[in-house]
């Protein structure tokens, strides 16, 4: 029944909330978003189940589900310490580039759908179709530039 709440300054709490909000807008679920925020802001980047639960004031089951989904989507991982049964959860921050590219997957979907729309549209609406095409082309350009930048990162890592 001990309280494992992590001590946080007010500004840290505020940032966790802000981070959670941004993550929610990017389509992540609330509890997962809060966990991501906490793990990014906490001075100690490795927190136990109970520290997360007590700091975020969530139920065990909410924390369990959030952690497991984050583990499955490879946003977090955990360490164990000898002589200690607890797991220490942390962001997989070194894989930040993969996470960002996953977010950009949304742009790819958008491009694919718009290409399909362009393909089946009537040719009657010339200006409309031209604008759709310009938009799809712009998105493709952005997508390619992001991929190029990412390749540079990958090279640097090696």
Strand, helix or coil for residue 79: strand
Nearer to a copy of itself, 4 or 108 (CB): 108
Q: How many Å apart are CA 140 and CA 128, to the nearest integer? A: 19
The CA–CA distances, whole Å, from 156 to 16, 30, 100, 145 equal 30, 34, 17, 17
Pick the stretch among 79-87, 106-114, 120-128, 145-153 that binds DNA (CB under 7 A): 79-87
| 90: contact with DNA by CB under 7 A | no
CB neighbours of 80 closer than 8 A, spacing ≥ 6? 86, 87, 88
| 98: contact with a copy of itself by CB under 8 A | no
Nearer to a copy of itself, 29 or 64 (CB): 29
Q: In sequence order, what E strands does the chain have?
A: 76-81, 84-91
Ranges within 29-58 binding a copy of itself (CB under 8 A) = 40-41, 43, 45
Minimum distance, C-beta of residue 116 to a copy of itself, in the bound complex (Å)? 6
- Determine which residue in the list 15, 49, 65, 86 makes contact with a copy of itself, applying CB under 8 A: 15
| 131: contact with a copy of itself by CB under 8 A | yes
């Amino acid at each position: 029944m001990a309280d494992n709440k992590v001590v946080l300054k007010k500004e840290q709490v505020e940032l966790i909330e802000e981070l959670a909000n941004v993550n929610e807008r990017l389509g992540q679920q609330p509890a997962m978003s809060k966990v991501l925020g906490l793990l990014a802001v906490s001075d100690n980047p490795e927190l136990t189940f109970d520290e997360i639960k007590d700091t975020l004031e969530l139920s065990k089951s909410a924390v369990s589900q959030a952690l497991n989904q984050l583990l499955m989507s490879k946003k977090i991982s955990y360490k164990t310490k000898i002589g200690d049964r607890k797991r220490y959860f942390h962001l997989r921050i070194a894989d930040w580039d993969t996470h960002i590219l996953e977010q950009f997957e949304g742009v790819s979907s958008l491009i694919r759908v718009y290409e399909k729309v362009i393909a089946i549209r009537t040719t009657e609406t010339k200006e409309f179709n031209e604008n759709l095409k310009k938009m799809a082309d712009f998105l493709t350009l952005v997508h390619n530039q992001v991929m190029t930048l990412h390749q540079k990162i990958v090279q640097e890592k090696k």
